[in-house]
Structure 1
Amino acid sequence: MSTLLMRLAAPLQAWGTRSRFVYRHTEIAPTKSGVIGMLAAARGLRRTDPLTELLGLDFGVRIDQPGQRIRDFQVARTLDGSDSMPLSFRYYLADAAFLAAVCGPRDLLDSLAAALNRPHFPVYLGRRSCPPAGHLNLGVHDGDLTAHLRTWPWQASPHHQRRHHAPTVRLEILRDARPDETITEPSHDEPLSFDPAHRQHAWRRVVRLHTDITNPRAKPLQDHDPMEVLEG
């Protein structure tokens, strides 16, 4: 098996698994349905097309830069402008960065990587108002996704890295559970169909892990003696 790695970073991201009426929430990390939908769009699949090839991919994500959850208020009007629609509350992740991975057959992942480089449809990070910042595709690599999520260099912004003085940082990983593993939590974001008339998602088994990653911009704090100016 091989693994396709992606850096998901942008001023705003939104990864929802639940929305009720005028409230549009976001999770703290990219969802499997959101990332699979992004790959499907890059490859040119329409919402009504079957997801046959993509359904068997394993998924994982590492939270490299958590960002901050923010709320936006949005209003809309009918097409003729005569009536206003209810005020909606939309939640986003601001200034976040993630390392996402999908694992599967090499030929399929190579085609997905090529599609990310030249997407058929525009790709975005959860919502159309959230285009990615920078290059998404980090390449296809041999091996299991867990090993890559545990060892791949830290994808946080340089500014965020400089704020951490320790030589290593502990990052959280969320990935699909193997059949023999005890799950940490379930998540209702296993995509089955994106057809607007018959959208379907199933529950998936999720495991939470942690890994220690080197901080390339660590600068240890210098010892400071406030009395040294009085010496001599």
Structure 2
Amino acid sequence: MSRTSVLALRLAGPLQSWGASSRFTRRTTESAPTKSGVIGLLAAAAGIQRGDDEHLAPLAALRFAVRMDQPGTRIRDFHTAHHGVTGASMPLSERFYLADAVFVAAVEGDHALLTGLRDALRAPVYPPYLGRRSCPPSEPVDLALYEDTRLEDVLASVPWQASAWYRRRHRTPQALTVLRETAADESAAAADVQRDQPVTFDAAGRRHALRTVVTDSVSTPIPSGSGGPQDAHDPFAALEALENESA
């Protein structure tokens, strides 16, 4: 009987963009990493080629969840391009990103498969990126591999991963939002649906199916290296008050 383990990832970088849908010249981003984007990241690290659906299928079958440790700020950029053959200008497009965001993503499944994926992240065939190739991670993605456990337990215990500057400027939140797939033995009555279940990444026609997503929350775990919960005192509060008065 196979063992069930969880691979946790820290997704942090100056910019991220996790699009679940795009219409014409408007490329939006979700507020948190999509399953399709994270599975694509893992597949690239493992060297799985686009269109190799046989090797993609075991990754797509992993149960997925993401915890929002630092929501970031949504920003908009305008993108120009020229046709590679004719040189003609392409239509101006809008592209949306999350700036300064940090997430903990996790996949649950067979221990041997996750061990291989963890090793692939440490020596990737193709470099990882956070939704788009223009969005590299700011540090290694691999966080930890947890044996004989479940998504819910891992996301409730992994230390809060928010950046140091963010922790200085913000009080520790009481809870962190978690978006997770329903378990096999769980009712999906209260779940939402999202079309980001990867079926194929073939460039000739990518396809995604629906999956069920439950919104939960967990108490914020103590950050790594912290001696206890963050003091409610904010040393930047006085400076920010002065800035507001002079504005």
Q: Secondary structure at the match of 2:174?
A: strand
SS in 2 for 1:83: coil
Q: Distance in 2 between matches of 1:75 and 1:173?
A: 35
Of all paired residues, the percent bearing the same amino acid is 48
Root mean square deviation, CA, Å: 1.5
Q: Give the alignment partner of residue 103 of structure 2, picking from 89, 98, 101.
A: 98
Q: Alpha carbons of 1:54 and 1:165: their partners in 2 closer, same or farther (altered >3 Å)?
A: closer
State the AA in 2 paired with 1:45.
Answer: I
Name the one with the larger helix percent.
Answer: 2
Runs of 4+ in 1 over 4 A off after TM superposition: none
Q: 1:108 aligned to 105, 108, 113, which one?
A: 113
Which consecutive residues of structure 2, in runs of 5 or more, have no partner in the other structure?
Answer: 235-247
Q: Which residue of 2 aligns with 1:210?
A: 217
Query: 1:4-153 residue pairs with structure 2 within 5 A?
Result: 4-50=7-53, 51-80=56-85, 82-142=87-147, 143-153=149-159
SS in 2 for 1:183: coil
| CA shift in 2, pair 1:118/1:160, >3 Å | same
Match of 1:219 among 206, 231, 236: 231
Q: 76-85 vs 112-121, which deviates more?
A: 76-85
| Corresponding residue pairs, total | 221
Letter in 1 for 2:153: A
- TM-score after normalising by structure 2: 0.85
Q: Distance in 2 between matches of 1:59 and 1:80?
A: 41
Per the TM alignment, residue 81 of structure 1 is displaced from its structure 2 partner at its CA by 5.9
Encode CA deviations 1:153-196: one digit per residue, 9 max, x unaligned: 00100111122335x53110000012432333110000010001
* Superposed displacement of residue 82, structure 1: 3.9
Distance 2:201 2:183 in 1: 25
Instruction: Determine the C-alpha separation between the residues in 1 that align with 2:134 and 2:78.
Output: 14
Larger Rg, first or second structure (1 or 2): 1
Distance verdict in 2 for CA 1:122–1:141, change over 3 Å: same
Deviation at residue 138 of structure 1 after TM alignment = 1.2
User: How far 1:42 sits from its partner (Å)?
Assistant: 0.2
Query: TM-score, normalising length from structure 1?
Result: 0.91
